[in-house]
Amino acid sequence: MKEKISLLLIVNLLLLSGFLTQAVVKKETIRKEGRLVFLPLLPRDPRSLFQGDYMVLNYDWSFLESEENAEAPKRGCLVFRIQEEVFLPVRLQVNFADLKASEFCLQYYRSDYDLKIGAESYFFQEGETELYLEAKYAGIRFLEGNTDGDKLLVGLYDKNKQRLGSKNQR
């Protein structure tokens, strides 16, 4: 009986390790090979007393006010175009099919009052609050041609699309 439990525990640990490794490799691939696009930010609160210095990222989702998008499902594909490296939302749809040549998709979840893409906050080093008040864009990397809509928030950028913070990389 102990051998079965030990074997089951080892198999579960190996499976968990495999899933975690796969997730890390996927995010690293997006970080290294993904296309960078800039999402314009709206005014936001740059600090949390309980979690330290971080910024809640508010995006302009005013395009959701159309009748077509009002009927979109709670989860799906946020279709967007890119113009001068800037993210331009187009519509919400159920799946990642039926995209035009210049369109891309990100996963989204819509609550009763907001749309979320999984990049709603950005943590930064304590004492750099003033620097991040200049943020005008959130930098997101995604893999073109990828049909799962995964992405990675890589930094905050100023009005000239220069990365803010201690590691000023693009």
pLDDT of residue 51: 61
146 and 115 together in one domain: yes
Q: Which of 54, 104, 110, 105 is nearest to 77 (CA)?
A: 105
Q: Is a pLDDT exceeding 90 seen at residue 73?
A: no
Quote the domain boundaries for residue 11: 1-33
Clarify whether residues 22 and 101 are in a common domain.
Answer: no
Residues 5 and 73 occupy one common structural domain:
no
What is residue 64's three-state secondary structure? helix
- Clarify whether residues 90 and 77 are in a common domain: yes
Asked whether the predicted pLDDT for residue 43 surpasses 70, the reply is no
Greater confidence (131 vs 52) lies with 131
Closest by CA to 99, choosing from 75, 74, 127, 80, is: 80
What three-state secondary structure class fits 68?
helix
**Beta partners for residue 17, in sequence order:** none
Phi, psi of 7 (to 5 degrees): -65, -45
Give yes or no: residues 81 and 143 share one domain. yes
Is the same domain home to 15 and 59? Answer: no
116 and 102, same structural domain?
A: yes
**Range in 23-27, 49-53, 67-71 the model is least confident about:** 49-53
* Cα Rg, the chain, nearest whole Å: 19
Report if pTM > 0.85: no
Task: Indicate whether 53 pLDDT > 80.
Answer: no
Same domain, 137 and 82: yes
Q: What is the pLDDT of residues 143-155, one digit of tens each?
A: 887 777 788 889 8
Is the pLDDT assigned to residue 104 strictly greater than 70? yes
